[in-house]
Amino acid sequence: MNTQPSDKKKDLLKRYGYRFGQMRLRTMSHLGLDVFETERFGCYSKDMDGKLFLDALSVQGVFNLGRRHPVIVEAMKKGLESLDMGNNFFMSEERLQLADKLAETTPGDINCFFFSSTGSEAVDLAIKVARGYTSRPGIISATECYHGITGFALSTNSNPDYVEPFGPLVPEFSHVPFGDLSALKNEMTEKTAAVIFEPMISEAGLLIPPDDYFSGVRELCDAHESLLIIDEVVSGLGRTGKIWGIEHFEGVVPDIMVSGKGLSAGMYPMAATMFREEVADFFLTYPFCHYSSTSGSDLGCVAASAMIDIINQPEFLSEVNRKGARLADGYRELLKRFPDLLESYGQLGLHTALRLADSSGGFRMNHYLAEEGVFALLATNDTSAIRIQPPLIITDDEIDKILDALGRALKKMN
């Protein structure tokens, strides 16, 4: 097989490295992922030299509905006849329609919204409001977490690769091991504004906490009059077989939830911070404390409304669960075949990860899967794990292709 890039691609890669950074490009080349996407459809994208990649990551949920889902493309084409981003100072029917639809899906009285462009911004707003609403500074997050790249979101992070060059970060942020209630109890004080967690941590290779963890977290937050922020940027919108990941923890209503990535089906940058009514009252005192020129764009709202209609269709979530179970069956077979290489797997719907015995196994797996034409991603906060989060519209046949590729990759690692 000719793995040498064409002359055209070589030239583009050279220019790309110069414009966007050599080290980043070198790393991607090393992993076999120096891809210039041309065609993109369903669960696939094609490199300019013709290699077809099966997407087993969907950019952690951006492409939950695959690439250029025809219903979303049509909705946006129609939107383009009369809309643009919209003037963010004015009201917008498209924005209101999206808020109404989201409110139908969110737990409890999480009925109030602010739309942004990225998950990081949406997390920043959640933290700002928690601090403003409680008049306290303290934010507690998980040691293993990732919530984004902007100021407040970045400060929740403890991975030196992300934070080391930028210190000192925002003060009064601290970390506790995920899933450990007594550690959280010890960390909470009368200065704690909020606790922010994902329902299950993606960046650390899918850490799923005990069933009673979040009811305990909720109780601790109530006892300290602190807010509970749940980051659903990856786990939301059907990924785990429920619309929101936190629904796996019965009866737990967060004070603030954050969504992003797949919210507009990979067609327009869009994220949401979602508040309980009482918390949203903060904006009565500070109505203009936070806004962004491109936030809550009308075209993004059109795409997002069409996306919600799709994931709300009967059978959508049961199909996600059925396909997740098919993937997990395959993982169990692989664990039997490669007991020395594979340690365990995690799975909720199509939110899955495989943990290898070797602490850097995720890198090698990433490389070998790319050779097999499958794009997945190691977990950056636990490089022994590889995240497999395919589009939710994946077919049984495509799931089997991922499993076959995993089997072949593991054989090469043996």
Q: Which is nearer to ligand PLP, 304 or 341 (CB)?
A: 304
Place of tokens 């305990």: 216
Q: How far apart are CA 34 and CA 26, in angstroms?
A: 8
**Residue 274 binds ligand PLP (CB under 6 A):** no
Say whether residue 204 binds ligand PLP (CB under 6 A).
no
Q: Which is nearer to ligand PLP, 60 or 366 (CB)?
A: 60
Contacting range for ligand PLP; rule: CB under 6 A; set: 14-22, 64-72, 195-203, 214-222: 195-203
For position 118 contacting ligand PLP by CB under 6 A, the verdict is yes
Please report, as residue ranges, which positions from 350 to 409 form the binding site for ligand PLP (by CB under 6 A): none
| 148 touches ligand PLP by CB under 6 A | yes
Closest contact distance (angstroms) between CB of 235 and ligand PLP is 7
To ligand PLP, the closest distance from the beta carbon of 196 in angstroms equals 9
By CB under 6 A, residue 116 contacts ligand PLP: no
Binding of residue 273 to ligand PLP (CB under 6 A): no
Binding status of residue 268 toward ligand PLP by CB under 6 A: no
- The span of 102-110, 113-121, 305-313, 386-394 binding ligand PLP (CB under 6 A) equals 113-121
Near ligand PLP by CB under 6 A: residue from 102, 140, 181, 233: 233
Stretch that binds ligand PLP, among 114-122, 328-336, 384-392, 396-404 (CB under 6 A): 114-122
| CB-based closest residue to ligand PLP | 119
Give the residue among 202, 321, 208 at the shortest CA–CA distance from 262. Answer: 202
Site for ligand PLP contains 147 (CB under 6 A): yes
Closest CA to 378 of 409, 334, 339: 409
Only segment of 6-14, 84-92, 146-154, 341-349 that touches ligand PLP (CB under 6 A): 146-154
Q: Minimum distance from CB of 62 to ligand PLP (Å)? A: 8
Nearest to ligand PLP of 295, 398 (CB atom): 295
Longest dimension (CA), the chain: 64
Q: How far is the CB of 148 from ligand PLP (least distance, A)?
A: 4
Q: Is the CB of 60 or the CB of 383 nearer to ligand PLP?
A: 60
Q: How many residues bind ligand PLP (CB under 6 A)?
A: 17
Task: Select 113 or 146, whichever has its Cβ closest to ligand PLP.
Answer: 146
Tell whether residue 202 is a contact of ligand PLP (CB under 6 A): yes
x/- letters, 213..232, toward ligand PLP (CB under 6 A): ------------------x-
SS3 assignment for the chain: CCCCCCHHHHHHHHHHHHHHCHHHHHHHHHCCCCCCEEEEEECEEEECCCCEEEECCHHHHCCCCCECCHHHHHHHHHHHCCCCCCCCCCCCHHHHHHHHHHHHHCCCCEEEEEEECCHHHHHHHHHHHHHHHHCCCEEEEECCCCCCCCHHHHHCCCCHHHHHHHCCCCCCEEEECCCCHHHHHHHCCCCEEEEEECCCECCCCCECCCCCHHHHHHHHHHHHCCEEEEECCCCCCCCCCCCCHHHHCCCCCCCEEEECHHHHCCCCCCEEEEEEHHHHCHHHHCCCCCCCCCCCCHHHHHHHHHHHHHHCCCCHHHHHHHHHHHHHHHHHHHHHHCCCCEEEEEEECCEEEEEECCCCHHHHHHHHHHHCCEECEEECCEEEEEEECCCCCCCHHHHHHHHHHHHHHHHHHC
Residues that bind ligand PLP (CB under 6 A): 60, 118-120, 123, 146-149, 198, 202-203, 231, 233-234, 260-261
